Structure 1
Amino acid sequence: MAPTVAIAGVTGKFSQCIIKALQSHPEVTIRGYCRSPQKLPKSIIDSDRIEIIAGEFDDYNSIRNFVRGSDVVICCYFGGPEVMTQGQQLLIDACEEEKVPRYIAGDFAVDFTKIPPGALFPKESAMIIREYLKSKNVAGVHILTGGLMETFWSAFFGIWRPETRSLSVWGNGDEKWELTTFPTAAAYTAAVALDRNAVGFLRCEMKPPFLPHLIEERVKLTYLKVCGDRKSPEEIKETFDRVYGCQMRIDRLGSIEELYGAVEEAFNRDPNDLARWAPACFAYWCTNGKAYLGDNLDNNRYPAVEVVDLESFLVDHKMEELHKADQLLVA
């Protein structure tokens, strides 16, 4: 039977990259969920392989209608804690009620499983959803990608300053960034969605009353760790200079510890002002070495996926367009 892949938050850039990856499989049917279908490109609206369902992130009846009959649900929500936590919980609840077997969680990021409880982390919803999935009869998958390469160069982080051709970084310049392009991360997500075996692990438990009765339960969750490249600011500069034939400057703003202090200060001033503290906080976890994906990556699990490294990414982008590389994804 042809698989049906349901994507929540289908107007986003990442979800549209996933759609592009899935469309190379003509047997796949795609179902999208969003608040404003009019924001979608005409190519998606007019496609006979894509069904769009409109609804709010907390409209449970619409969500159940959206997930019903699908083989896997991918969350591509992008928003505040309410959307990323309550919104995902409602998706998972609907999957359980409609007997959708698999759920790919939102917040593609660093290895949040290594972040200690209570630490400031802008994607805390990923931790909450990991625990929530443990109580549900839905097999969850978290896809960990490090930072997204297009976002690294965007105004979101405030690292790349095109007017001065410089990187503004915290640390000594040797801290590594693990970076993956949107299309690479999307291709892996599509591959996981189409892999019916990507369903978590088997748990055996003792069942009363007397004899050891082993129960296999194909639930819980698994993690797919993929990375396009791993480079320090100094190595990024070296690659940049070689590709573009001009010099990048690196401006050091302070130590990694001072970065976390600045994040704490901004958070304490206004925890709800995510735009002020979240980008720097995410940069902290990208570079402090505690939440790295590590060397045990899953890149080879899906060999058909083309992994784009930093040099290939730069070759494919004009220098004056780096700061809007994320916008060009859906241009």
Structure 2
Amino acid sequence: MSAVVGIAGLTGKFAQCVAKELQAYPNVTIKGFCRSPQKLPQAALEKYKIEVIEGEFDDEAAVQKFVRGTDIVICCYFGDPDVMTRGQKILVDACGKEGVPRYLPSDFAVDYTKIPAGELFPKESAKIVKNYLVEKNVAGVHVLVGGLIETFWSEFYHIFDPNTQTITYWGTGDEKWDLTTYETAAAYTAALAVDKNASGVFRFRGDCKSVSEIKEIYEKIYQSPLHLKRLGSLDELYSTVKDEFNNGPNNVTAWAPGCFAYWCTNGVAHLGDNLNNKDYPNIVPVDMEGFLKAHKMEDISIADRHLGF
């Protein structure tokens, strides 16, 4: 069975991981959309036979040209609220006009369907777009994976300091994180893209570990100490995030990392145990131990930079 898969935001690392994972499926054609095709390596585009449509996220004519003829559009945008909300609405509108039956939005986060309305959440666009898909009668394919393992170790969260080998955390240290690697999340995304019957909310997980458990795994693999530093309670984290948001709501880099950490660990937005991993048994998710074994200790904080083409 042939399929044409559109990937919006192709210059992003996750988008490129999805494109690579789609190579496991025969008779799949990929169309990419981005504003700067020159940033993409030509050799990779030829290798994966990707047709690229150039355009800004709000260029409606270019977007419509991009989605035309696709069986599903995967959004891999990552940007400000305008890109994440209005940009995705433009994609959904184009899917409606061109008769594209399914749209996979840029979710890839905790289970936001469980977060109460009105609560501060950095990807509020996910809730908005989910409702918008229902309004427009385009089938949504929602991929929830918790936190991304590479991002957990990167400078984004301000959790891990590679210079001192220290993890800073809020809470008791025993709160569980749902964690999935980019490539595992991309593998499940690709599987959903080619499964034309797939629609609705899907929950996939690579691992579920607390920082205390992560410390044990790290020290076993690297034979080097990992220090833990407690910053306060989860309630104190929530207050800190709210203060940062009130002081500068548009300064997302200031409050979003702590806000993500809060929803990753407070239990409300956990993926739960009814996962969809079992629906795609050919995919073997990478857990925290597998991730660390695959990387040198000095490389884990920059692992996200080496993804993609």
TM class by smaller structure: over 0.9
2:289 is aligned to 311
1:292 to 270, 273, 297: 270
- Letter of the 2:283 partner, please give it: V
Q: Aligned to 2:70, what secondary structure does the other structure show? A: coil
The C-alpha deviation readout for 1:249-274, integer Å capped at 9, x for no partner, is: 10000000000111011000010000
C-alpha distance in 1 between matches for 2:308 and 2:194:
23
2:298 to 295, 307, 320: 320
C-alpha distance in 2 between matches for 1:22 and 1:327:
21
Q: Aligned to 1:192, what secondary structure does the other structure show? A: helix
Give the conservation status (yes or no) of the 8 Å contact 2:72–2:102.
yes
Larger gyration radius, structure 1 or structure 2: 1
Q: Please, what TM-score do these two structures have when normalized by structure 2?
A: 0.98
Would you say 1:282 and 2:260 are equivalent positions? yes
Q: Which structure features the higher share of helix residues?
A: 2
How far off is 1:134 after superposition?
1.1
Q: Which runs of 5+ in 2 are unaligned?
A: none
C-alpha distance in 1 between matches for 2:163 and 2:48:
44
2:150 is aligned to 150
Would you say 1:244 and 2:222 are equivalent positions? yes
2:97 is aligned to 97
C-alpha distance in 1 between matches for 2:124 and 2:302:
27
Q: Which runs of 4+ in 1 moved over 3 A?
A: none
1:202 is aligned to none
C-alpha distance in 2 between matches for 1:152 and 1:48:
29
Aligned-pair Cα RMSD in Å: 1.0
Q: Percent identity?
A: 58
Q: Please, what TM-score do these two structures have when normalized by structure 1?
A: 0.92
C-alpha distance in 1 between matches for 2:75 and 2:101:
14
How far off is 1:64 after superposition?
0.4
How far off is 1:173 after superposition?
0.5
Give the conservation status (yes or no) of the 8 Å contact 2:141–2:198.
yes
Q: Which runs of 5+ in 1 are unaligned?
A: 200-221
2:280 is aligned to 302
C-alpha distance in 1 between matches for 2:47 and 2:92:
27
How far off is 1:48 after superposition?
6.5
1:226 is aligned to 204
The C-alpha deviation readout for 1:206-238, integer Å capped at 9, x for no partner, is: xxxxxxxxxxxxxxxx11100000000100001
- Letter of the 1:173 partner, please give it: G
C-alpha distance in 2 between matches for 1:263 and 1:137:
36
- Letter of the 2:183 partner, please give it: P
The C-alpha deviation readout for 1:91-115, integer Å capped at 9, x for no partner, is: 0000010000000011210000111
How far off is 1:14 after superposition?
0.2
Q: Which moved more, 1:16-25 or 1:40-49?
A: 40-49
What is the correspondence of 1:1-331 to structure 2 with a 5 Å cutoff? 2-47=2-47, 49-199=49-199, 222-330=200-308
C-alpha distance in 2 between matches for 1:295 and 1:198:
20
- Letter of the 1:28 partner, please give it: V
C-alpha distance in 2 between matches for 1:180 and 1:55:
31
The C-alpha deviation readout for 1:247-303, integer Å capped at 9, x for no partner, is: 111000000000011101100001000010011101100001110001111101111
- Letter of the 1:299 partner, please give it: N
Q: Aligned to 1:252, what secondary structure does the other structure show? A: strand
Per the alignment, do residues 320 and 48 of structure 1 end up closer, same or farther by CA in structure 2, a change over 3 Å counting?
Answer: closer
Per the alignment, do residues 48 and 113 of structure 1 end up closer, same or farther by CA in structure 2, a change over 3 Å counting?
Answer: closer
How far off is 1:43 after superposition?
2.6
- Letter of the 1:294 partner, please give it: G
